[in-house]
Chain A
């Protein structure tokens, strides 16, 4: 499987006439960390379900670990681990029993299961909880266990569908530590979907999905760098009006709720600061991040649509 872990060509899923995923092309190198980003309803889950053979594409084809998702579903399923948006655990069984069940379903022997469970529970900080029922675990621990469940058969590719959704900040951080350690120790390919864009900063490559189509892709660093070094946000009651006034002088601006965003090559000087601050009720500047990439891509899309 040297080369690509995941390849998709024109992958499409339609519901009625409405495409949930529309002509997706992907090539994800083995061992890399890929992030599929987009708001709710963008088509992330549908993409993951097609790649993991759970739903059938309406058109197009994809290969995971070299196997076709259309014709070799069992081979695909044995080389992937999937952590669904909602837990795939039996809440009435204990931590160890859940891993044992998942291991058995994946054809592992008792010895393999015991050994890997120990490793994974250690790695995920659950070693002291092996005999507790899942129902008694916190949300963060359940999520960690669910990832361990998805890794019990040592898949080459791990799909994570919004792995931190519904978790508090410490639990989210813990999940990211676990995933980082997994990647470091096993060299697996990780396919992440999330709408918390800032979580994808460590990805090797990200793709922004909007209404089932990829609207931007690339490495997070360059994508962020191309926005400049600084984003200025001005809070105001009349964002549209302010945007119209600023645009001719300061270049493209973007309106997000009650804020106007400006891109600057550098931090604004004292004079400009004072002026901008006087325009709205509050003003601040900061470094751009992946959220900004998404906002500016959307803005460009809207412009293009209006021009057409």
Chain B
């Protein structure tokens, strides 16, 4: 019965999110800031097309919420390692790869929750079109969230402490966001950046969200890839990332270092 342990992890992640108001507020504020300030500013310098560019940014900022939400939730696993929670996890009669998968699902779930709240807010502000494709939106949200969560689990598997948190923000989360099609269409990027975007799985998540036409169909900003390619890349990356994270995680538990840290023998 693997369903209940996974449910348990999901419940805990949700509880934590709802209890941390600050996390929720910044999850809403950050994308809105980009959309309203950057979007408008960009248009102002160009002189025209403000509304159009903002519409283009909508999938990108939803992707941003998913990226930050999922990676940060997955990184909380490092906090679990330092606190008592990991003791509860390692002593549970659950194979360790299931724990990795459950944590990834939990991180994806809280990211989707945040994205849905942002979507509701955007709808109120008039940024959501009635012509959006709900199935594509659902697939885009789930695929992007799960991919970002897997990326987060991969990082968490190698992080010993949360001290390098700022480093991770600067060298992982921001580059992943900037080097994607979130702010500009991929075809319009210079060669080097286009290459970076092409190997960035997050690009394909945002692309999938573009397919959903959240802000309405806009010929100027078509998606860069086919939805099938997007999904294939997301699935492939997630599977590989979780596989590697599981290997790393079970090595840590079966072969001691983690257990020693849990036993409170730090630095020995």
Secondary structure at the B interface, as helix, strand, loop or mixed, is helix
Given the known inter-chain contacts A45-B263, A54-B259, please indicate yes or no for A105 contacting B92, CB distance below 8 A.
yes
Closest beta carbon of chain B to A51's beta carbon, Å: 12
Given the complex, which residues of A lie within 8 Å of B91, measured CB to CB? 52, 54, 77, 82, 84, 88
Given the known inter-chain contacts A56-B254, A85-B263, A105-B8, please indicate yes or no for A90 contacting B84, CB distance below 8 A.
yes
Closest beta carbon of chain B to A162's beta carbon, Å: 11
CA distance A92 to B15 in the complex (A): 10
CA distance A82 to B253 in the complex (A): 16
From A93-101, A194-202, A272-280, give the one contacting chain B: A93-101
Closest beta carbon of chain B to A18's beta carbon, Å: 12
Given the known inter-chain contacts A49-B259, A55-B256, A104-B4, please indicate yes or no for A90 contacting B83, CB distance below 8 A.
yes
Please report which residues of chain A, range 1-48, place their CB below 8 angstroms from some CB of chain B when the two chains form the complex: 45
Closest beta carbon of chain A to B249's beta carbon, Å: 14
Given the known inter-chain contacts A54-B91, A78-B93, A149-B88, please indicate yes or no for A104 contacting B264, CB distance below 8 A.
no
CA distance A90 to B91 in the complex (A): 14
Q: Is the CB of B84 within 8 A of A105?
A: no
Q: Is the CB of A91 within 8 A of B84?
A: yes
Q: Is the CB of B4 within 8 A of A89?
A: no
Q: Is the CB of A107 within 8 A of B93?
A: yes
Query: Is there a chain A Cβ closer than 8 Å to B19's Cβ?
Result: yes
CA distance A105 to B8 in the complex (A): 6
Q: Is the CB of A87 within 8 A of B84?
A: yes
Closest beta carbon of chain A to B36's beta carbon, Å: 33
- Interface membership of chain A positions 50-81, coded 1 if the CB is closer than 8 angstroms to chain B and 0 otherwise: 00101110000000000000000011011000
Given the complex, which residues of A lie within 8 Å of B7, measured CB to CB? 104
Closest beta carbon of chain A to B67's beta carbon, Å: 24
Q: Is the CB of A56 within 8 A of B255?
A: yes
CA distance A75 to B11 in the complex (A): 25
Q: Is the CB of A107 within 8 A of B15?
A: no
Nearest B residue to A46 via CB reads B263
Q: Is the CB of B85 within 8 A of A88?
A: yes
Nearest B residue to A98 via CB reads B88
The answer, among A54, A75, A78, A88, for a CB contact under 8 Å with B88, is: A88
CA distance A63 to B180 in the complex (A): 53
Q: Is the CB of A84 within 8 A of B263?
A: yes
Q: Is the CB of B88 within 8 A of A101?
A: yes
Given the complex, which residues of B lie within 8 Å of A106, measured CB to CB? 5, 92-93
- Interface membership of chain A positions 143-156, coded 1 if the CB is closer than 8 angstroms to chain B and 0 otherwise: 00000010000000
Query: Is there a chain A Cβ closer than 8 Å to B1's Cβ?
Result: yes
CA distance A215 to B4 in the complex (A): 44
Closest beta carbon of chain B to A155's beta carbon, Å: 10
CA distance A107 to B92 in the complex (A): 9
How many residues in B have their beta carbons less than 8 Å from beta carbons of A?
31
Q: Is the CB of B93 within 8 A of A91?
A: no
Query: Is there a chain B Cβ closer than 8 Å to A214's Cβ?
Result: no
Q: Is the CB of A102 within 8 A of B88?
A: yes
Query: Is there a chain A Cβ closer than 8 Å to B90's Cβ?
Result: yes
Q: Is the CB of B262 within 8 A of A100?
A: no
Closest beta carbon of chain A to B18's beta carbon, Å: 12
The answer, among A54, A103, A109, for a CB contact under 8 Å with B253, is: A54
Closest beta carbon of chain A to B95's beta carbon, Å: 7
Closest beta carbon of chain B to A242's beta carbon, Å: 40
Query: Which one of A75, A84, A85 has the highest number of Cβ atoms from chain B below 10 Å of its Cβ?
Result: A84
- Interface membership of chain B positions 2-35, coded 1 if the CB is closer than 8 angstroms to chain A and 0 otherwise: 0011011101100110010000000000000000
Query: Is there a chain B Cβ closer than 8 Å to A108's Cβ?
Result: yes
CA distance A45 to B261 in the complex (A): 13
Query: Is there a chain B Cβ closer than 8 Å to A256's Cβ?
Result: no
Query: Is there a chain B Cβ closer than 8 Å to A131's Cβ?
Result: no
Closest beta carbon of chain B to A208's beta carbon, Å: 21
Closest beta carbon of chain A to B127's beta carbon, Å: 34
The answer, among A77, A101, A104, for a CB contact under 8 Å with B93, is: A77
CA distance A304 to B1 in the complex (A): 54
CA distance A54 to B19 in the complex (A): 32
Given the complex, which residues of B lie within 8 Å of A104, measured CB to CB? 4-5, 7-9, 11
CA distance A91 to B256 in the complex (A): 24
Query: Is there a chain B Cβ closer than 8 Å to A119's Cβ?
Result: no
- Interface membership of chain B positions 88-100, coded 1 if the CB is closer than 8 angstroms to chain A and 0 otherwise: 1111111100000
Given the known inter-chain contacts A49-B259, A56-B254, A104-B8, please indicate yes or no for A91 contacting B83, CB distance below 8 A.
yes
Given the known inter-chain contacts A78-B93, A84-B87, A102-B88, please indicate yes or no for A107 contacting B16, CB distance below 8 A.
no
CA distance A174 to B9 in the complex (A): 32
A89-B85, A104-B4 are known; give 9 further A-B pairs, CB within 8 A.
A75-B93, A77-B92, A82-B91, A86-B263, A87-B87, A93-B16, A105-B4, A105-B9, A107-B4
Subset of 30 A-B contacts with CB under 8 Å: A49-B259, A54-B91, A54-B253, A55-B256, A74-B93, A74-B94, A75-B93, A77-B92, A84-B87, A84-B263, A86-B84, A87-B84, A88-B91, A90-B85, A91-B84, A92-B16, A92-B19, A93-B12, A97-B12, A100-B11, A101-B88, A104-B7, A104-B11, A105-B9, A105-B88, A105-B89, A106-B93, A107-B4, A107-B93, A108-B4
Report, nearest first, the 10 A-B pairs whose CB atoms are least far apart. A104-B8, A88-B87, A78-B93, A105-B92, A77-B93, A107-B1, A88-B84, A88-B88, A87-B84, A107-B4
